[in-house]
Structure 1
């Protein structure tokens, strides 16, 4: 039974409950393909385009920025994967340990909103690509009915993989990577022919400040958005798996395709900023290709978005259950795609502005997400094990109940990070449509969109002394004892980091 519930083609019946040691048969190589597949979308090109067109970096600077931003941010994802190996549960379920079952609802809600937001953008973009493909291949012009059908096709394809679950996702992501990755290479070969090499060779270097901001831009647009999903796929990793291998799998798996795409996007933007400023980057890239390349390009764009969406929807289903929605995992995934379907229909058929408002909203969520990452990673420094029963017990008396169901040091650190980060944040769809501007938005951090970095630092600085104090109280001799195995999984020898149980 253990093997049948997590095999290719079978529906994964496990929800958010920790995976027993005997059912953890994963390997770090599998995670490499998971993260590679999620980041081969041709839409990585606009990220690189912004480095050149908007930050004025030269080629070598753009390459360095892309490498540090991509590999570095996904190294954080890999670190959170280590928690999945330790606890055998999804990221936001493990987050109950420092935050408490009630305190964890805030970060979990933000995580779910972020996942659904990006899924809606993926679905909408893919539907536009499919409509363009149908127009070119069959002469079927866009109509309301055809638009809805295009959305349904993408949603159904996502549900077919995400609904089946972990084992199927691993296999599909691996082999589909080869197919759509090969198409992307062909497309990239033709795009390189459009590079203005004279402009590339004579581009001046940008100041160091632009490099710093560029790294932040790439990190926020890549790994930071996936950080709260790091443990979701790693929960099937055996306890003996090396943490360094998990970190390397995430960093290299995502970093390799991203650096290639970001570099190509930067090359295309020397002397031509059309990709960086386009409201529909798929169409902007298509204009750079020969007419006969439109079909393979659009297939590659559709496939890359699908691979990213598969992982996102799987994670969102687990996050929804952690939030307290009492549904089986398959039904949670179904509810998630229904909401995505509704959002895509609204964006494509009702809303006047496709990307602007939605991207602005999702970008705002980077502030609370990075504040959560800071608290979670600091908690991981000392928490070597998680109590399986405690993670699932959300009632008074549970191991991670803390005070009133809230781990106050973690929760306060998270809120403080958000509050201070927003002081440096601007939310706008254009220069004339500003939703929110913090009082410090005109500072260097604010002007360069680094409010999320401030949130990370503040949350970490506030939570760190509480976590260190709790560890010293639990281990006055300075050593961390190994947790004995209980009937349902590992039991942490220490009280939850932050406060004692009530």
Structure 2
């Protein structure tokens, strides 16, 4: 398989497909900088899904606007700082997150966390695709006078899904170089449209309701932070290294963390804060089955088109990165296909999922919240173990990451690093014991400790992280560098990577 240097990629035509799969990028081919990651994460988080998240803080958690803003800052920017930490591993090893995770869990033990990561990516892509298809249906309603109800126009709904998926496949299939360029410039275009829409939405806010809203209890703030963290950065945590693998080995860890936290935090704080403001006088946005239509109704007719275009663009920018990451994760799971075919496979799966939510399911937003709550636990458990492993592991053996056989550096015992895998599994069990998952007003699942102070205050994800990280440490994990560098260039790489 041929490879391209990142310098070549930067100057390559946008029609050139990235040939690299999950194999580590050689140091000589890594010329990325933190500003690139800033634009990537900024673009991935200017979608309108931040508005219903902010609305839920007021409608469901009973917070006022200022509390919602604090929650958004801690939950979103803080969670994406964790994404930045994981991206440091990408700079060290030059490989995607879940490929690097083989060093932590073993080449076989990593299958569980990788499967969870893939489900997370596919879930978010289905959310993006379904929402974007609703956006296109609204545009069709304005342009053609058709119904905005997907079940009334099933063929049109499928066409809307297909258009979004085709746009996603075009960019995600091309790969790293195309994503860097498109995410940067599209941010300016769709970001400007979002600013215009925000100005008009601000004019619809019931300021008297905002001013008179009482402050919520501290427990509601904690729950809100958990909801926002799970709905933003936690969902992206296991993709942190996917774009960072092209970063120069000399890039400082603090710069990677700051670029992730600021890049995602700025748009999310604005959108979540706006959602909280809109919901202060009208809680319907938080429970709307179609949040796109609910927001559109707040705008004058002539503003609906730029709003819908901005909404479509924001969702597309998020989906580009998610599908790219899902393709890498699919290969890591063991499906032996080229990256571009893995991307195509993931798009087909989300196409089917979007059809279900638009044409069969009775509700969309309810399953979305349920999905966030369920997957946040195993992802947070993985994050705890993986970050502890990063404390001492400053070198990833490139050959070992790709060797799935018994002689590989990360085979451990039976292909499983039992301390890491056991810590991850136990943390999941503990985490689920503290949560209650509701859908449609009914409890889908209720852990036996969900009624405790920790469960009632939404702290299950924090406990999960602490248990996973703490147990791994107690079991003697994070043994450090597994294979010592044997060449002068490897030694230089290890010395540079250890500057954290």
Counterpart-to-counterpart distance in 1, 2:224 and 2:364? 25
> Could you tell me which residue of structure 2 aligns to residue 116 of structure 1?
122
Q: Indicate the larger mover: 65-74 or 321-330.
A: 65-74
Residue pair 1:389, 1:489 contacting (<8 A) in 2 also: no
What root-mean-square deviation, in Å, do the aligned CA atoms of Structure 1 and Structure 2 show? 2.1
> Could you tell me which residue of structure 2 aligns to residue 344 of structure 1?
354
Match of 2:29 among 23, 31, 38: 23
- The SS at the match of 2:108 is coil
Q: Indicate the larger mover: 417-426 or 137-146.
A: 137-146
Structure 2: give runs of 5+ residues left out of the alignment.
Answer: 496-500
Provide closer, same or farther for how the CA distance between residues 169 and 108 of structure 1 changes in structure 2, counting only shifts above 3 A: same
Residue pair 2:4, 2:18 contacting (<8 A) in 1 also: no
Counterpart-to-counterpart distance in 2, 1:315 and 1:182? 27
Residue pair 1:386, 1:490 contacting (<8 A) in 2 also: no
Q: Deviations over 1:304-329 (max 9, x none)?
A: 11000000000000000000000000
Match of 1:61 among 62, 67, 91: 67
> Could you tell me which residue of structure 2 aligns to residue 293 of structure 1?
303
Provide closer, same or farther for how the CA distance between residues 354 and 206 of structure 1 changes in structure 2, counting only shifts above 3 A: closer
Counterpart-to-counterpart distance in 2, 1:217 and 1:18? 34
Structure 1: give runs of 5+ residues left out of the alignment.
Answer: 476-480, 494-502
Counterpart-to-counterpart distance in 2, 1:284 and 1:489? 57
> Could you tell me which residue of structure 1 aligns to residue 235 of structure 2?
225
Residue pair 2:222, 2:458 contacting (<8 A) in 1 also: no
- Determine whether 1:252 maps to 2:262: yes
Provide closer, same or farther for how the CA distance between residues 492 and 244 of structure 1 changes in structure 2, counting only shifts above 3 A: closer
Counterpart-to-counterpart distance in 1, 2:121 and 2:478? 34
- The SS at the match of 1:102 is coil
Residue pair 1:79, 1:243 contacting (<8 A) in 2 also: yes
- The alpha-carbon deviation at position 48 of structure 1 amounts to 1.4
> Could you tell me which residue of structure 2 aligns to residue 380 of structure 1?
390
> Could you tell me which residue of structure 1 aligns to residue 455 of structure 2?
446
> Could you tell me which residue of structure 1 aligns to residue 343 of structure 2?
333
- Determine whether 1:99 maps to 2:105: yes
Counterpart-to-counterpart distance in 2, 1:115 and 1:410? 23
- Determine whether 1:127 maps to 2:127: no
Q: Deviations over 1:223-263 (max 9, x none)?
A: 00000000000000011111111101000000000111111
Counterpart-to-counterpart distance in 1, 2:404 and 2:493? 16
Match of 2:44 among 38, 42, 45: 38
> Could you tell me which residue of structure 2 aligns to residue 48 of structure 1?
54
- The alpha-carbon deviation at position 57 of structure 1 amounts to 2.0
- The alpha-carbon deviation at position 162 of structure 1 amounts to 0.2
- The alpha-carbon deviation at position 492 of structure 1 amounts to 7.4
Counterpart-to-counterpart distance in 1, 2:273 and 2:205? 11
- The alpha-carbon deviation at position 359 of structure 1 amounts to 4.2
> Could you tell me which residue of structure 2 aligns to residue 263 of structure 1?
273
- The SS at the match of 1:257 is helix
- What are the residue-to-residue correspondences of 1:280-429 with 2, within 5 Å? 280-357=290-367, 359-429=369-439
- What are the residue-to-residue correspondences of 1:141-160 with 2, within 5 Å? 141=147, 143-160=153-170
Counterpart-to-counterpart distance in 2, 1:250 and 1:239? 17
Match of 1:83 among 82, 89, 111: 89
Provide closer, same or farther for how the CA distance between residues 155 and 194 of structure 1 changes in structure 2, counting only shifts above 3 A: same
- The alpha-carbon deviation at position 291 of structure 1 amounts to 1.6
- The SS at the match of 1:327 is coil
- The alpha-carbon deviation at position 408 of structure 1 amounts to 0.5
Provide closer, same or farther for how the CA distance between residues 259 and 357 of structure 1 changes in structure 2, counting only shifts above 3 A: closer
- Determine whether 1:13 maps to 2:19: yes
Counterpart-to-counterpart distance in 1, 2:138 and 2:9? 39
Counterpart-to-counterpart distance in 1, 2:109 and 2:366? 31
Aligned length: 485
Q: Deviations over 1:21-66 (max 9, x none)?
A: 1110111000000000000012211111122222222222221111
- The alpha-carbon deviation at position 205 of structure 1 amounts to 2.2
Q: Deviations over 1:380-413 (max 9, x none)?
A: 0111111000100111021111110000110000
Counterpart-to-counterpart distance in 2, 1:340 and 1:356? 18
Provide closer, same or farther for how the CA distance between residues 109 and 491 of structure 1 changes in structure 2, counting only shifts above 3 A: farther
Counterpart-to-counterpart distance in 1, 2:345 and 2:233? 25
Counterpart-to-counterpart distance in 1, 2:488 and 2:375? 37
Counterpart-to-counterpart distance in 1, 2:188 and 2:83? 23
- The SS at the match of 1:436 is strand
Counterpart-to-counterpart distance in 1, 2:492 and 2:418? 24
- The SS at the match of 1:42 is coil
Counterpart-to-counterpart distance in 1, 2:76 and 2:369? 20
Residue pair 2:172, 2:323 contacting (<8 A) in 1 also: yes
Q: Indicate the larger mover: 361-370 or 69-78.
A: 361-370
> Could you tell me which residue of structure 2 aligns to residue 436 of structure 1?
445
Residue pair 2:393, 2:479 contacting (<8 A) in 1 also: no
Provide closer, same or farther for how the CA distance between residues 99 and 349 of structure 1 changes in structure 2, counting only shifts above 3 A: same
Provide closer, same or farther for how the CA distance between residues 338 and 129 of structure 1 changes in structure 2, counting only shifts above 3 A: same
- The SS at the match of 2:40 is helix
Match of 1:470 among 467, 476, 479: 479
Counterpart-to-counterpart distance in 2, 1:64 and 1:359? 21
Residue pair 1:84, 1:235 contacting (<8 A) in 2 also: yes
